[in-house]
Every structure is written in structure tokens, then in C-alpha cells.
Amino acid sequence: MKHRVAKHGPRDRSVEQVADRLHSAAIHLLRRVRKQDTATGEGPARLSALSVLVFGGPMNLGQLAAAEQVRPPTMTRIVTGLEKNGLAERVSDSADARRVQIRATPKGARLMQRGRKARIEYLARQLAQLTRDELSTLGEAVEVLQRLLQRWT
């Protein structure tokens, strides 16, 4: 027990410190990057859903809602907005008439690629200020995060 306690105390504090800073950094990072996205003329929810459609392929409304961690009525409205702007379309499911397949249109895919490009280039311009070591650390950390997010409960 003793060595467990001795290991746990400092470890936990460090974990919480990282957690706190990570949270803060994520907020401030996204707040800045988001401004780039306004150039597309679409809101964040639509862009995020469109991104899932473009990079993940067509899916049902319910699946899309789950992927975006949003309730179905919310996703209904997001998809309606995307459809209105010609970025996605509803396709009726032949097997089950209750379901609706949602898929990105070519226009939607183009907008997504463009927006993604602008966003990443903007971020990359900022990251270019880092030293090679710092960038390398950041790269490793992002991979750690990706793995963590995959098995997140």
C-alpha cells in the first residue's frame, strides 16, 4: 500500500495539472481557429457534420447525430441547413423507409476541403514558430491524445 500511496499522490497532482492546462489550451486554440472558419459562411455545427460526411462517407441521420454527439432533432436541423445550401443531401434508404441516408454533395466536399485547407494552413503558420523539438513533442502528444480519445468512455 505504502509505495502505492507514495506513487499516487504526486502523480495525481501532475495529472490534474496537465488536465487543467490541456483544457484551457484547447479552448483558446479552437477559439482562434474558429474565426478562420467563418470565411466559409457556414457555422461550426454544419462544418463539423459535413466533415464527418466527407471524410467518413454517407450515413443515417441517427449515426451522424451520434458521431457529432448531438440529439437527432438537432441533427435534423443541421442537415436541413446543409441541404438548403447544397452541401449535403438526403437519400431515402431502400431497405428501411424510416431511415434517411445523408451524404455530402460534390460542392460540400469541395467546401470542406477548402475550409480544412485554410484552417490547417492558418494553424500551421502559427506552429511554424516552434522549434523542431517543440513540434516533435507536440506531434507525439497529439498521437497520444488521438489514441486516448478513441478509447474514451
Q: Which of 67, 99, 122, 123 binds DNA (CB under 7 A)?
A: 99
The yes or no reply on residue 86 touching DNA (CB under 7 A) is: no
Find the DSSP H helices in 38-71.
44-56, 61-67
User: Which of DNA, a copy of itself, none does residue 1 bind (CB under 5 to 8 Å by kind)?
Assistant: none
Residue showing cell 462544418: 47
- The reply on whether position 80 binds DNA by CB under 7 A is yes
What's the sign of the alpha-carbon dihedral 42, 43, 44, 45?
Answer: negative
**Any contact of residue 81 with DNA (CB under 7 A)?**
yes
Does 46 bind DNA (CB under 7 A)? Our answer is yes
* Residue 55 or 92 having the CB closest to a copy of itself: 55
Give the strand order in the sheet containing 88-92. 59-60, 100-104, 88-92
Per-residue string for binding with a copy of itself, 113-142, x by CB under 8 A? Answer: ---x--xxx-xx-xxxxx-x-xx-xxxxxx
- The residue from 2, 3, 98, 151 that contacts DNA (CB under 7 A) is 98
Provide CB contacts within 8 A for 102, sequence distance 6+.
53, 58, 59, 60, 61, 64, 79, 88, 89, 90, 91
- The option from DNA, a copy of itself, none interacting with 6 (CB < 5 to 8 A, set by class) reads none
Residues numbered 14 to 73 that lie near a copy of itself (CB under 8 A) are 14-33, 35, 48, 69
Rounded-to-integer distance, Cα 49 and Cα 149, Å: 18
Q: What whole-number distance in Å separates Cα of residue 125 and Cα of residue 62?
A: 37
Residues that bind DNA (CB under 7 A): 42-47, 60-63, 65, 68-81, 90, 96-100
